[in-house]
Amino acid sequence: MQLGITMFGDSRFDLATNQIQSPEIRMKEIIEEIKLMDEVGLDYFGIGEHHRADYVVAAPEIILAAAATQTQHIILASSVSVISSADPVKLFQDFAMIDLLSDGRAEIMAGRGSFTESFPLFGYDLDQYNEIFEEKLDLLLKINANDPITWKGKFRPELNNQEIYPRPKHGKLPIWIAVGGTPQSVERAARLGLPVMFAIIGGHYHNFKALFDYYRQAYQAYGHDMQNFQVGVHMHAFFVDDSQQLMNIHYPTYAAQMNRVGATRGWPSYKPKQYEQGRSQAGHLIVGDTAYAVDKIIEVIETFGLTRFAAHLDTGAMEHQHMMRAIEIYGTKIAPEVRKAVNKSV
């Protein structure tokens, strides 16, 4: 059972002036935050890719390479790499280098991404969204499994007996697939025998149970060894010493970011009632003090049979000192209790 954190590299806005934080400061904060995650014993860190003014990480591999030299134990992963608009050869090379820098701790999480800015930025046609993803994923998996490689596709020049350097420490990289809520994505991952990370960022988390069950059944039906079965979830989270602090420390920043994103998607204004519904026992938020978080994380793990739980911590980018305290609470108070409970149930 792995317990970790995902982030998107959100930029912090001054709520009084709406002025955005400088990206160089936020990037340095992120490295300090990852270093603390490693020090408090968390298992996994994933960072996302975005190409917008309100996110500072356009290339997860840069942040992960920097973190590789500042950490000792934590898995360092993308969350996600938008492979549809990336070159799988270069992506593999970059993560192989992170893997070597980190002594074998790098991991790629491949996905479509929840934003589409990378398509026009890198010259791809959104009308070919699904076809591009299928081809790029196929190439990435074949590079990971074969050296040299011969391959031919539609959206990239072919490779003829091409060697790809460097190779990861153990020859291959762990590759996960990130999915939202489509059965087609779940079936593809099961067919390929790939671990899946589900993003649960709205509604009641129990509504995803059928997809988890479908993935497990399909994985077995395709003949994959259940000893290798891995499944995770990423949920919006934040941790405080006292839940009474949430409306001052977390809610204003979280709601402001939800409204900024929502303005581009036609969402209604985010209200305290939605926040409280999200924090309810069945809700999609894990935001609160240690006792609350321990109970809810254990319930989520048991509901889905998880091998990985990731707290998505930086929606809106809370003040750095509050981020650091949330990480400390998670690693030193919440994670030990969750691990103890999970080990008892095995």
Q: Considering the domain delimited by 2-344, tell me its CATH architecture.
A: Alpha-Beta Barrel (3.20)
Which residues, at least 6 apart from 91, have a Cβ–Cβ distance to it below 8 Å? 61, 81, 83, 108, 140
- Please give the pLDDT value at position 116: 81
Map tokens 């129990």 to a residue.
206
Query: Where along the chain do its domains lie?
Result: 2-344
Query: Do 73 and 37 meet the contact criterion of CB atoms below 8 Å apart?
Result: no
Please state, for a pLDDT cut of 90, what percent of the chain lies above it: 88
Q: What span, in angstroms and rounded, lies between the C-alpha atoms of 274 and 276?
A: 5
- Please give the pLDDT value at position 128: 85
Q: What span, in angstroms and rounded, lies between the C-alpha atoms of 283 and 46?
A: 23
Tens of pLDDT, residue by residue over 105-157, are 999 999 987 788 888 888 888 888 889 999 999 999 999 999 999 999 999 99
Q: What span, in angstroms and rounded, lies between the C-alpha atoms of 322 and 317?
A: 10
Whether 192 has a pLDDT exceeding 90, the answer reads: yes
Tens of pLDDT, residue by residue over 202-261, are 999 999 999 999 999 999 999 999 999 999 999 999 999 999 999 999 999 999 999 999
Cis peptide before 174 (omega within 30 of 0): no
Q: Which residue has the higher pLDDT, 82 or 126?
A: 82
φ, ψ of residue 234 to 5 degrees: the values are: -120, 125
- Please give the pLDDT value at position 346: 64
pLDDT (mean) for 185-202? 95
According to DSSP, residue 267 is labeled: P
The chain-wide mean pLDDT, for the chain, equals: 95
| Helix runs in the chain, H state only | 23-39, 60-68, 88-101, 118-122, 129-145, 183-192, 209-221, 246-249, 251-263, 272-279, 290-304, 320-329, 335-345
- Please give the pLDDT value at position 165: 96
SS3 134: helix
Q: What span, in angstroms and rounded, lies between the C-alpha atoms of 4 and 289?
A: 17
Query: Do 175 and 205 meet the contact criterion of CB atoms below 8 Å apart?
Result: no
- Please give the pLDDT value at position 340: 97
Q: What span, in angstroms and rounded, lies between the C-alpha atoms of 270 and 7?
A: 21
Measured at the CA of 71, the angle between CA 201 and CA 250, to 5 degrees, comes to: 35
pLDDT (mean) for 297-304? 98
Tens of pLDDT, residue by residue over 2-24, are 999 999 999 999 999 989 999 99
The token pair that represents 64 in the structure block: 């992960």
Tens of pLDDT, residue by residue over 24-44, are 999 999 999 999 999 999 999
Whether 76 has a pLDDT exceeding 90, the answer reads: yes
| Helix runs in 236-333, H state only | 246-249, 251-263, 272-279, 290-304, 320-329
Tens of pLDDT, residue by residue over 42-67, are 999 999 999 999 999 999 999 999 99
Whether 344 has a pLDDT exceeding 70, the answer reads: yes
